[in-house]
Structure 1
Amino acid sequence: MKRVIKTASAILLALAMTTPAFAAPTDTDTTTDTPIATPTAAPSTSTRFTDINSEEFAWAKSYINDMAGKGFISGYEDNTFRPDNDVTRLEALSLFARAMGSNDSANTELLEIAHDKFDSVIKEYGLKWGTDEIAYLMYKGALKKTDLDTYLKDDEKDTPMKRYEAAIIITKAMGGEEKALSELGVVLDYTDAREVPSNAIQYVSYATDAGIMEGMGEGLFSPNTAVKRSQMAVMLSRTVDKTNYTFEKNKITAVDTENKTITATNSKGKETQYTYTDSTVIKSLGDEIQASRLVSGVEAVFVKSGNTLVSVDTVSSEPDRTITGRFVNSSVKSGVVSIKIKPDDSEENETYECASNISVTYDGSPATVRSFADGDVVTVNLVNGKIASLAGESKTTTISGATIEDMEIGDDIKITISHGNDAYNGKTYAVSSDVVVKKNTSTVDLSSIYKGDKVTLTLKYGVITQINATSSTKVIEGTIQSLTIATKSIMVVKVDNKEQTYEIPSGVQILINGEEKTLYDFRVGDIVKLTVESDAITKIVATSTQESSGSMSGVVTGINTSYGVISVQPEGSTDSKQAFCKDGNTTFVTAAGIAKKMKDIKVGQKVEIKGTISGGVFIGKLVVIVSE
């Protein structure tokens, strides 16, 4: 908050001293940082600038004054607006970000989340200003990395925005991209329609139908003409008026997935009930989730367009307190319901009163406290010391029709699933150390489970004890677009002009020129043939060069024999690294040369591991136990 206030103060001071424009092209020429104001009246007709009074700009005058009055745009120190000047791409993007709410005070924490998620990408473009707006547009999904290359790379940021490009940004700012792209066979009613790039036709159609953009006379759209300051003022004013966005930051107190309502209170205790739809975008700390995963007690920004709830963005991660454990019993005294539970991290039972508007679900369906029995697995969220929400499931649960969404591998293994039932969709479960795993009817180990596998999970007290998985395998050929090498490696491949993202498990087979190689041998642009199982690559065949090997040494901090993982903390480091090892593939010996097995490795021992890097993961070939 202090950073935003200081920024706003510095900008306002700069306005009094320098030559302002739409957005600052230099460190000494900046725009106002005035929060978004929702239009409540017709555009003002009062004269603010000396050069917009002629008949030539009568069509834009009221819009220019309106946007200047709301702090979106500004003029120059000589009281001119210079309506015929071009608008750069960065200026245009920044203005539409403000139309979407980047400057609204309710979005202060959300903007910080956007910076955390996207600053590492944005810094590549060397922006001297406008990073708040670009981060916000990326958070809202209006800009992707490929868009930044188009609009901001090198000198592109200072290039005038073309009219067809403005149509694209307008559509995204209005949340209309999905609808626009769903319209197939669009025919533009402009005499120069053939000059509109094919990838912009649907956007131009949307911006035209929405009444934001019009032709340039004589039936022309002039797609490649630069946008003028006067035109931008008109488009911006119409966009703000059309979207009519309002922003409210409140604390969630209840979620009713059956009636699709979210109840929240503001800082003064005033309660508001929001109705969401399938089109409402719901995010938690920047990650899209289902409404069922919203947690009572967290703060969220609610964005409405008129009476329609457009989005919900939680800006805090935890309620007052979340407790997981087992249901013991419930009681009623003087009309107040209390619940006794045994928390997982305590040997003592704890009793809490229920809030009057408590949200209760059992096995994913709306329920009452009476639905629970002794020993049921429960999660309760406390707000102001009372239970705001109670979710439970039976001691033993079977979840069918799930898909593996993510697998967290470490000393403990956790699996996140997607599911058609909101009660399970996006949930993460711990995996028992003695889990039974079957895939395509064969018994396998856990390392054979991949993202995208269809699974039926058996849980006992909320922990996965059995996995029955099915998968399909296909072979594809494409071009590497990007490659992230880490504990969980990711490859983006373009196949038939479409980008597809795959995880790369540690055991992936890599053949380059017929020889076994590693991920470090690949470069963006390499053509590869992939064997893909579900959403994971199990084999890569290509033509390239280079080899990688390595070693690690340190103190053992964790062992998972079922998955074959040894965690080692190198000397002088506070972080542990992981090595994948397995009896049969890895040799285990003491410093004296005595043969051992993986089960003989103990936490606290010092080890030296030699091996290779495969799929971005260290594969141990030799483990020497230095100290026992």
Structure 2
Amino acid sequence: MPKKMHLILFIAAFAAVMIFSGALSSEAGGGQLLDIGEASWAEQEITEMSALEILEGYPDGRFLPYQSVTRLEAVAMLIRTLGLDDQARAMEEADVAYQVPYLPWGRGYLIMGVERGMLDKNYLNQLEPTGAATRAQVAALVCLAFDLSATGSSLDFADADQIPYGYQEYVAALVDNGLMQGLPGNVFEPNSVINRAQMAVLLSNLLNKELADPYPDRRITGTVSNIEPISGLIDLQEGASKFLTAECRYYLDGKKVEAAGIKNGDAVKLTLDDGGQVVLVQAARSSEGPGANQGQVYQGLVDNVFFIGGECWVAITCLDGTKITRSAPSSVMVNDPSGQMSLAGLSAGKYIEMMLEDNQITSINVLSTSTVKGKVTDVESSILTITSGGSRMELEVPGGVAVLKDNSAVSYDTIAVNNEVEVAVYGQKAIKIVILRDTSPEGTIEELDGGEITIRDVYGYINTYTLDEDVEVIIDGDSEGLGDLNEGDKVRLELNSRNYVTDIEVLDSSESDLEGEIRDLDTTGAYGITIRNSDGDKFTYKVVEDVDVYKGSRQLDFDELETGDEVRLELDSDGWVDEIEVLDYGESDLEGEIRDLDTTGAYGITIRNSDGDKFTYKVVEDVDVYKGSRQLDFDELEIGDEVRLELDSDDWVDEIEVLDSDQSTEEGVISGLRTGSSPRLWLTNSDGDEERYDISDDVDCDRDGDSIDLEEIVIGSEAEIEIEDDEVVTIEITDDEDITIEGEIIDVRVSSERIQIEQSSGNQFTYYLEDGAILRDSDGDRIDLEDVEEGWDVELRLRDGQIYRLTEL
């Protein structure tokens, strides 16, 4: 998701449509809220947000649930949700190097919004703070405030084409994360203003999804051991005891009740006011104990809906593979994103949540899902990585997820890299996976018979493909004939739309894909192992049950292996791993804490291992000493250092590795960079979490084995960094050619089809356009290179280091 798309969020073009006619008013606490019954669907969330002072009532006691939220109010509410209210207030009079609109209140929230990356300082003077915020604008603000990543999911709302250009990914991210949903009629209404009740629900969702927790001491969960509404006291089995306010509101299983409706044994979430008293009790009835009615909630895909004797039955398959079939009274209505419907309107394939009481369905909600098509780029035991439309996404895969191929159910292990799949997604979870076809299957030739080729893939599965009459065979880059192929050759196939093989490429027979670092292990059921080789490529193999595992002269069990071990694999004739050699081995007496050092004359070292035993070794004069990727002198070692030793054939120490507990390695995308006297680096990992690091003055930077400077690092590059003593000491750029980057255009050369950009770090880079590159202006219109102007902020999508898409931000 482009980080600078917020540059155009609030410019005056939007304001012309959405100006809020009323004056901007600062909210104030008003005790009991008198009018939230007008929005009964949001009562719980309004009460919760009011208690936490994130979204307050007005002095006259009204909440005004249907009043629109201004842009400034939206920013302030999100800042409060992040727990940064005090910091924002402290910035009210801050001296900043950019222009902030004059406001009677809230200047500090705008400054904090800039600090959090929600607003751009260069466009702040164009902000219309009293203008009403739209649903699409708030979606963008939430994504930027909470660093939510785009999922690449498509939106199936009837008015999806009305979502402003650049906002689609923000809206999709909030819908996929269950933070916002559509409105009746399967519409999103992106340009409609958001009201205070809707905002309360959104903010509550952020807390319930654990994306924020600004006041953890004011949100308590537990089980009721005693409740006395008259004396105003509630006790929890976990030991907490709290007073209930006179205005406290009570909800049981989502329905409003009186205090007497809460029973001992109910699971509760308590929301406290700033005085520590309970203002909201949200209870769920347990399946045991007083007042129990066996209330349960299940989520799953609808398998069947059928009627027996006038009674409706619904059968679902949960994501863990459990199948549930329950009946529902005819009065039960189905809550669909497009509106309510009868049970007869519920169809197979829908992903639903159904609530049970006394083992009977009491309500059904159709959950908003999306469908993503793409190519599989990585398969792990619980994570499926696919690429769709140039975006890479990781989807959580529950244990019993439905996988279909050719309309038949298959196991999850059937999915292979390069499969083209269609995935039904709820939040970040895959709820159904359909294998459409193998676009570039790889494997070992089992048989080549006339017009067919049979290969065994790395998972051990055998597949047969029909050869196109013009099939081409490529060996070492040269075109050859089918007769040059042999059983046992490792090949990659290219298929056309009919799944006929059009190209057969014989792959390099080197063993690089059989040696590397363990990235994943499956030690239950059928064994499996995933390794990453020195080129960064991942390979997954099935493992025979009686696999031989060696670590030096020792034989290990398979489950003694650990993620991170460097290993070499041997395969049997069926392509299964039958032998594993651990490469980075060492005996227990070669690892421990330094107890003595002799750095004069003949070098010597004494270590104490984890068992308390001491060992003394002679050290060669030119011993190699490493601390991470840094090389040290022997006399830089210190007593107390944890080290691992390597011995030569004479049992002298010829290599020492310092095992620094303050040392760590992180992978991700460089999302920010500051060079100069106090260099810093921002890294965003695969979970979307961004961390800031100081950079060591003697940092080592590397790309493709070559040393580079900080000024050569592109923001947007994929990298692996090494942190030591809270500073980055090494930066290895793993990919800066197939990435998405941003910057300001400082030079355009039409004749040579190249542009030069400057990024926020001050670093400048020149890129050439790929043949057929797509260029778009800020309105989304296609343009030519001569239309591109210096000074534009742009997003560049690179492929092999060349621009294949340019978009003005």
Q: How high is the TM-score relative to the length of structure 2?
A: 0.29
**Which protein is richer in helix relative to its size?**
1
Using CA pairs below 8 Å that are at least 6 residues apart, which structure has the higher relative contact order?
1
TM-score normalised by length of structure 1 = 0.36
Structure with bigger strand share is 2
- Higher Rg of the two aligned structures: 2
